[in-house]
A and B are shown apart, each in its own frame.
Chain A
């Protein structure tokens, strides 16, 4: 399978996916505006997948834990926010929710990660299963289990854009646009944090080599709290975007299931991989639904991501951007 490990394979694979995405343009009657609508819609739902996947990758890189509770964190954050907003203005509720997510991270480090340090990955994974159920239960106990409408002031009315370019223009949900901008900003801020701050550097160091990081005095416990907090904040943003779209409800955490194929596609250890993987899956879903749906029957959206992930597991288990170890001595 060496063929698939090459660096250029990454780009060829992306190229094939790209050409696939453009195919309807060449094949069809070039109804460009409709195609553009589909593409934009796909990219925007992709951004959301990216966000959840990003949370997963951050935790995986820094603590080697596959966090099954990421979806539960999304739901818990959104629930906290929506219920807190009943008592206080949005800005305050946001700050309080952030504080809650940091507290959750701290408790997880104290009660779960610290006692289980040096255990096998599977043990830690099971522990996150426990965290997931615990967070679900806690969320429902404190905040209730109804469906809540989350209104953070996102415009609900779709807009028609580029009217002067195409006949009829294209229809774009403003909500989606704002969500995408929000997500992109968050990703940008995270990138700055990782590259430019001393804590960010320490996080990358821990991701590279736990023991070496410990040997120079980087406290792993604190790093874990930070990473889980950051992951919690990312979950909050995902929760806000998704929650205001679908309402805050139990099924919200199921969207996080999509993050699994995303990280398989992008590679468990790669932040760009999580982002690109999310976009590819979002895009692929929508395009195949619209253009392949008529031939294969509908509902492609539901299985597209998993089939793609399966193909990757078979041929390229480290994903598109999965970091190979630098083995040179």
Chain B
């Protein structure tokens, strides 16, 4: 990621409240540059999904609300738009847990992704082939009901479906969840490929820090609704604290209880 790359998405100090009372994000800021893959890391419940949904405006369906801060896409405020408006502007979310349409076939699932576009059938056909080019497996299973396909195939379907909207940015939530390591690898390779060939930028929420940092250029670590650390993927994967607490690698021998307490203290201080 070069420093002078244009900013695609800017999230500035957002606060999110669920049900009018539950404060979940306490001022999250992040940037996604044009053409970047940015990882949003953190444990279960840290607020990753909430952040992505705040951007894509899917929060309202969960009775969540952005109460403070600012979200801009290509310099335009997007926090009052409908998800549909956002998709038309090129931002689309692939939800955690894939959420394929179980009773539709794989191909029908993909076609629903083109709903917001008013283009010719031929063009949609061509896009379908393009998606099959990235996911040859889906072509083989195009006629199967999505509900009966494997987790990996469903994840591919969900990403392919998003691609059919011709997005410039995909908000990808936990693509590795519940998948075997080599499938995870396959999916991240495709993400990298899409990023390189189709110029799609990614904001990627992951608990699987190891894989995410290998494929991302930049990362943010979220804890309790706050960004506690940020840096290039390289810097993060070499950081001792990240190694210890997120990658499970301890360099200084066995980690002592006191060290971890120290870390927690420092973390609180950081935030």
Seen from chain A, the residues whose Cβ lies within 8 Å of a Cβ on chain B are: 117-118, 198, 201-202, 204-205, 207-219, 323, 325-326, 328-329
Q: A267 CA to B112 CA in the complex, in Å?
A: 26
The answer, yes or no, to whether B88 is at the interface (CB within 8 Å) is yes
Return the chain A residue nearest B95 by Cβ: A215
Residues on A with C-beta less than 8 A from B60 are 118
Interface size on B, residues (CB 8 A): 38
- Other than the known A212-B95, A217-B88, A329-B151, what 10 A-B pairs have Cβ atoms closer than 8 Å? A198-B115, A201-B115, A208-B103, A208-B104, A212-B99, A215-B83, A215-B99, A216-B162, A217-B87, A219-B84
Contact with A along B84-114 (1 / 0, CB 8 A): 1011100011110001111110001101111
Residues on B with C-beta less than 8 A from A205 are 101, 104, 109, 112
The answer, yes or no, to whether B148 is at the interface (CB within 8 Å) is yes
Whether A216 pairs with B112 at a CB distance below 8 angstroms is yes
Query: Of A202, A215, A218, which is in contact with the most chain B CB atoms at under 10 Å from its CB?
Result: A215
Residues on A with C-beta less than 8 A from B115 are 198, 201-202, 216-218
Whether A328 pairs with B95 at a CB distance below 8 angstroms is no
Residues on A with C-beta less than 8 A from B93 are 215
The answer, yes or no, to whether B128 is at the interface (CB within 8 Å) is no
Return the chain B residue nearest A210 by Cβ: B61
Query: Given A198-B111, A215-B56, A216-B87, A204 and B104 touching (CB < 8 A)?
Result: yes
| Distance between B21 CB and nearest chain A CB, rounded to angstroms | 16
The one of B88, B99, B101, B148 in contact with A204, judged by C-beta atoms closer than 8 angstroms, is B101
Whether B99 pairs with A209 at a CB distance below 8 angstroms is yes
Q: List 21 A-B contacts (CB under 8 A).
A: A118-B61, A198-B111, A198-B114, A201-B115, A204-B101, A205-B101, A205-B109, A207-B103, A214-B83, A215-B92, A216-B87, A216-B115, A217-B84, A217-B87, A219-B84, A325-B102, A326-B103, A328-B148, A329-B151, A329-B154, A329-B178
Residues on B with C-beta less than 8 A from A325 are 102
Query: Of B83, B92, B145, which is in contact with the most chain A CB atoms at under 10 Å from its CB?
Result: B83
| Distance between A288 CB and nearest chain B CB, rounded to angstroms | 35
Return the chain B residue nearest A221 by Cβ: B82
Q: A216 CA to B104 CA in the complex, in Å?
A: 15
Return the chain A residue nearest B89 by Cβ: A217
Q: A214 CA to B93 CA in the complex, in Å?
A: 10
| Distance between A252 CB and nearest chain B CB, rounded to angstroms | 34
Query: Given A198-B115, A216-B115, A218-B84, A211 and B103 touching (CB < 8 A)?
Result: no
Whether A212 pairs with B100 at a CB distance below 8 angstroms is yes
Whether B61 pairs with A211 at a CB distance below 8 angstroms is yes
Whether A214 pairs with B61 at a CB distance below 8 angstroms is yes
| Distance between A110 CB and nearest chain B CB, rounded to angstroms | 15
Residues on B with C-beta less than 8 A from A118 are 60-61, 63
Q: A201 CA to B106 CA in the complex, in Å?
A: 12
Query: Given A215-B95, A328-B147, A208 and B161 touching (CB < 8 A)?
Result: no
Residues on B with C-beta less than 8 A from A209 are 99-102
Whether B58 pairs with A215 at a CB distance below 8 angstroms is yes
| Distance between B222 CB and nearest chain A CB, rounded to angstroms | 21
Residues on B with C-beta less than 8 A from A216 are 87, 92, 112-113, 115-116, 161-162, 165
Q: A205 CA to B112 CA in the complex, in Å?
A: 7
Q: A117 CA to B101 CA in the complex, in Å?
A: 21
Q: A6 CA to B228 CA in the complex, in Å?
A: 52
Whether A217 pairs with B116 at a CB distance below 8 angstroms is yes
Return the chain B residue nearest A218 by Cβ: B115
| Distance between A204 CB and nearest chain B CB, rounded to angstroms | 6
| Distance between A60 CB and nearest chain B CB, rounded to angstroms | 15
Whether A204 pairs with B103 at a CB distance below 8 angstroms is yes
| Distance between A297 CB and nearest chain B CB, rounded to angstroms | 45
| Distance between A195 CB and nearest chain B CB, rounded to angstroms | 9
Return the chain B residue nearest A216 by Cβ: B113
Residues on A with C-beta less than 8 A from B102 are 208-209, 325-326
| Distance between A210 CB and nearest chain B CB, rounded to angstroms | 7
